[in-house]
Structure 1
C-alpha cells in the first residue's frame, strides 16, 4: 500500500489486487445485423469522451475570486506519470504500480485562502483497457478516509458512490497551528476525483460538499 501526499498533509490510496479476467470463448455465435439505419451519433453534450479526451484542465473548477494560487501547485496544471508518482510517500513503488494500473494523465488545481487554508483538487484519468481503475482508486480513497478517527461522512449527490469526509480531530505538532482536514473522492467513467481541504480551524460539511458537487458536475 502506498501513501499519497496532498499539499503538506498525507492521505492514502490502496492498490487493489484484481483477479485475472476470464477470456471469452473464441467461438462466438454470429450476430445478425439489424435492418434499417443505425442510431444517431451522440451529440458533443451527450458524449462523455468528447469532454474527457480533450484538455482535462478545462474540467477543473476555477480558483475562487480572492484566492491565491497555491505555491506548490504546478503552474500549467498538468501532472504526468512522474509528477503524480512523486505525490506518493514512496514514489519508486508508486511508479510501476501506476503503469500497471494504466495511468493516462492527471491535472491539478490548488489555492490558498486566508493565512492557513489550502484546497487541492486532482482529476486522475486511466486508460481502463483491462478494468475500472478509476473506481478502484476512488474506493481506495474511501477506505483510508474512513480509517481516520473522528471522521464524519456523507454521500456526494450526482455520483454512484462518491463520498465526502470531514476529519474532526486535527493533526497537532508543538509550535504549529492545528491542521484540520476534509476530503472527497468520486469517479465518473475513466476519471477519479480527489479533493483535499486543510485549515487551522474546523472545516464544515457544507464547504467540502460544495467543492465536491461543483467538481463532479463538470465531469
Structure 2
C-alpha cells in the first residue's frame, strides 16, 4: 500500500502591518521592509487595474446608450419554441430493476460485490468490512493518509484476501467514496497510479485495462535478497463510479500480465 501524498503545511506569513521595524544586525537584508515595498507595488497595480476596468465599463455603457434601440419581433412570430410533453399514459419507460440499477447494487452490501475466493484458496487477512483506521495503518504515513482520504470523501471499504497455490497472495479492496465528493474515487485512482508509476521499481506507465476506462495494471520487477524467496508483485487500480478497485498480487514466481488483468476484469463485471 502506498502512502498518500504528504500535505505540506506552510508557516503563517509574518505580520507586516506594523510600521515599527526592529533594528537589523549589520549585513542582514531588510526582509520585512522589502516585503512591505512589494506589497505596496502590488496594491498600486491592483488599484490601477480596477480604475481601468471601471473606466472601460462606463465608456461601454455610454456608447450603448447613444445607439438606437433594436426592436425585437413579437413572441407570436418567433417559431421553434417547443416544450417537452409528457408521454401518454401507458407509454412511460419502465423503471430500472434492482439488477439493472447499478446505484442500488453499490449502495447495498458492498461485501457481496467482492470476487469470491477461488476454489482451494485459503482466507488470509481481512474478509469483509475494513475500518478506516485499519485501512490507513498500511500506509507509510497513516495520519497524512487518513486526512487525505477524509478530504476525498471516503465512505467505506470492503476487502478480501486469500492465498492460492504455494506462494500467491491476492487482496481486493473496494473503496467507496461519497456521491458528490468531487470525484473522490477518480482522484484516488489517479493519485495511486501516479505514485506507483513514480516508484523506481515499477513500470512508470503500466498497462491499460481494456474496457475499464481509466484502469491500469503495474508489474514490478523481481526483488531478490540473499536468504529470502524471490518476490514478484503486481497491482491494478481502476475506478467505477464512486468505487475505486484496488488489486494487490504477490508471488514467488513471475506474475503474468493476463493474471491481474483477468482478475480486474472479473471484479469490474460484478460492479
- Same fold at TM > 0.5: yes
Offset of residue 137 of structure 1: 1.0
| Higher RCO by CA contacts (8 Å cutoff, separation 6 or greater) | 1
Local SS of the residue matching 1:57: helix
Q: 1:162 aligns with which of 202, 205, 215?
A: 215
Q: 2:107 matched to which residue of 1? A: 53
Q: 1:202 matched to which residue of 2? A: 254
Local SS of the residue matching 1:89: coil
Q: 1:182 matched to which residue of 2? A: 234
Q: 2:17 matched to which residue of 1? A: none
Q: 1:109 matched to which residue of 2? A: 160
Which structure: greater helix fraction?
Answer: 2
Say which one has the larger Rg.
2
Offset of residue 157 of structure 1: 2.1
Q: 1:145 matched to which residue of 2? A: 196
TM-score by length of 1: 0.79
Which structure: greater strand fraction?
Answer: 1
Q: 1:36 matched to which residue of 2? A: 86
Give me the whole-angstrom Cα distance separating, in 2, the residues matched to 1:132 and 1:150.
Answer: 26
TM-score by length of 2: 0.64
Q: 1:121 matched to which residue of 2? A: 172
Moved more, 114-123 or 145-154: 145-154
Contact between 1:180 and 1:199, CA under 8 Å: does it hold in 2? yes
Distance 1:79 1:33, change over 3 A: farther
How many residues are treated as equivalent by the alignment? Answer: 192
Offset of residue 197 of structure 1: 0.6
Give the gaps of 5 or more residues in structure 1: 6-10, 17-31
Q: 1:68 matched to which residue of 2? A: 122
Q: What CA RMSD, in Å, does the superposition of the two structures yield over aligned residues?
A: 2.4
Contact between 1:153 and 1:164, CA under 8 Å: does it hold in 2? yes
Q: Does 1:94 align with 2:145?
A: yes
Give me the whole-angstrom Cα distance separating, in 2, the residues matched to 1:217 and 1:170.
Answer: 30
